[in-house]
Amino acid sequence: MSKFLLFTLALSALSAQERPIVLKTSTLYDGKGKTLHNQIVVIEGSKIARIGGAAPANAVVYDLAALTVTPGWIDTHSHIIWHFDNNGRFAGRDEPQEQAVLHIAENLVATLNAGFTTIQSPGSIQDKDVRDMIAHGNLVGPRILSSFQPITNPQWDPAKMKATVDERKQQGADFIKLFASKSIREGGAITLSQEQIDAVCGEAKAQGLRTIVHAHSAESAKASTLAGCTSIEHGAFVTDDVFDLMAQRGTYYDPNIGLVLQNYLENKPKYFGIGNYNEEGFAYMEKGLSITLDTFKKALKHKDLKIIYGTDATAGAHGQNYREFIVRVKDGGMDPMQALISATSLSAQSLNLEKEIGSIEPGMQADIVGFDGDPLKDVYAAGRAVFVMKGGKVYENLARGSKTGWRPAGKESAR
């Protein structure tokens, strides 16, 4: 090959890499409550360079004017590696590793294609390699934050708990996941003392880590709030006085009312017979649907409470993370703009990533989703993400109307 050809190849590779991207939009929600009309978004490298002005002459242009554009959505609670095995059962230890890996890859693609460009997994040690490979650009999936193995053992004394926090920090975990109550399948009562919770959330803070706490009962949510933990997950039985305390202290609330229980009930045979997935457990989950919805409605009345967007997605739920939005708005009565802010900028803030993700502004990562329809006017449009960009790279770009998205089976009110 001639020197000249090599030179021009190098040059074209360089200029291709450096060409900015322009997204033409007609309706754009910035993730912080603003609506922009007929603007272009200019992307350079992985970031948003500017909004508006003239398109650079050499730009690669995507016309999203027929779509509704939002920041990439964030799921603060997704068990991304949980899946059904080739036999259609909730996968366990006897599954061949090579099959497990492919099912995890399926979950990653499904989640990203649904418009979720960042998720937080609480957590499994398997998350580590998945997280790092995605970050290196070698694997397709949402940006991942993980706690690795959660702290679950109520028998541990505070010193052992602190040591485990330090161990997670050393392993490279992004945050700590703590269980302070039983599962909803077992009634959700508190399992730890105040001293134990103080030890975990205090040590995590000292190490620069956030702590998210599985807490169903009011008592467990209160103890976690007093301990300065970052967020309360689930909180099915949280009471008004505890919501007030959480609002005062700035503790985030991550209710999961729209996907996790529905998905378990829809896939009962795939879980049934494993651990506490028994008749009693399913009966609790069935009851949980209205309990969690009522608690969510109660939470909405606390105007200063920071309600973030987590689904607790497990096997069978990945790629349907948007159903949380549908239920929050349609059944919970949440203002759709507030629900979108929750799924974008507010969740980013809860991850301490508000300067990177969660809004469409200059300097932010170019995580941008286009929906067929407007989720703020038609909730089901949230299930029709047809354009997905993460960090300036386009992962999905479908023709308009080529997705149907989820709708409740049977009658309109079925959940």
**Cβ at position 262, least distance to Zn ion in Å:** 15
- Token pair 């976690």: residue: 224
**Cβ at position 310, least distance to Zn ion in Å:** 8
Q: Which of 259, 224, 240, 227 is nearest to 343 (CA)?
A: 259
Nearer to Zn ion, 121 or 342 (CB): 121
How far is residue 30 from each of residues 36, 97, 205, 367, measured CA to CA in Å? Answer: 7, 41, 31, 11
**Cβ at position 11, least distance to Zn ion in Å:** 50
Nearer to Zn ion, 324 or 367 (CB): 324
How far is residue 238 from each of residues 114, 193, 242, 311, measured CA to CA in Å? Answer: 30, 18, 6, 17
* Phi and psi, residue 50, nearest 5°: -165, 165
End-to-end CA separation in angstroms for the chain? 64
Mark residues 262-301: x for contact with Zn ion by CB under 5 A, - for none: ----------------------------------------
* Phi and psi, residue 295, nearest 5°: -65, -40
How is residue 24 written in tokens? 């033409």
**Cβ at position 338, least distance to Zn ion in Å:** 23
Q: Which segment (112-120, 124-132, 308-316, 321-329) binds Zn ion by CB under 5 A?
A: 308-316
**Cβ at position 119, least distance to Zn ion in Å:** 12
Query: Should residue 198 be labelled a site residue for Zn ion when binding is judged by CB under 5 A?
Result: no
Nearer to Zn ion, 342 or 359 (CB): 342
Q: In the complex, which residue's CB is closest to Zn ion? A: 312
- Token pair 């998205």: residue: 405
Q: Which segment (306-314, 321-329, 371-379, 397-405) binds Zn ion by CB under 5 A?
A: 306-314
Render the burial of 346-356: b for 16+ CB within 10 Å, e for the rest: bbbbbbebbeb
Q: Which segment (90-98, 272-280, 290-298, 312-320) binds Zn ion by CB under 5 A?
A: 312-320
**Cβ at position 79, least distance to Zn ion in Å:** 6
**Cβ at position 143, least distance to Zn ion in Å:** 19
**Cβ at position 348, least distance to Zn ion in Å:** 20
Nearer to Zn ion, 209 or 213 (CB): 213
The footprint of Zn ion on residues 35-54 (CB under 5 A) is: none
Nearer to Zn ion, 30 or 312 (CB): 312
How far is residue 112 from each of residues 33, 104, 270, measured CA to CA in Å? Answer: 23, 12, 24
Q: CA 98, 104, 109: angle at the middle one, nearest 5?
A: 130
Nearer to Zn ion, 21 or 213 (CB): 213
Q: CA 368, 372, 375: angle at the middle one, nearest 5?
A: 80
Q: Residues 30, 203, 312, 372: which binds Zn ion (CB under 5 A)?
A: 312
Nearer to Zn ion, 124 or 207 (CB): 124
DSSP state of 55: P
Residues near 229 by beta carbon (within 8 Å), at least 6 away in sequence = 178, 197, 200, 201, 211, 212, 213, 251
Nearer to Zn ion, 75 or 312 (CB): 312
The site for Zn ion (CB under 5 A) is made up of 312
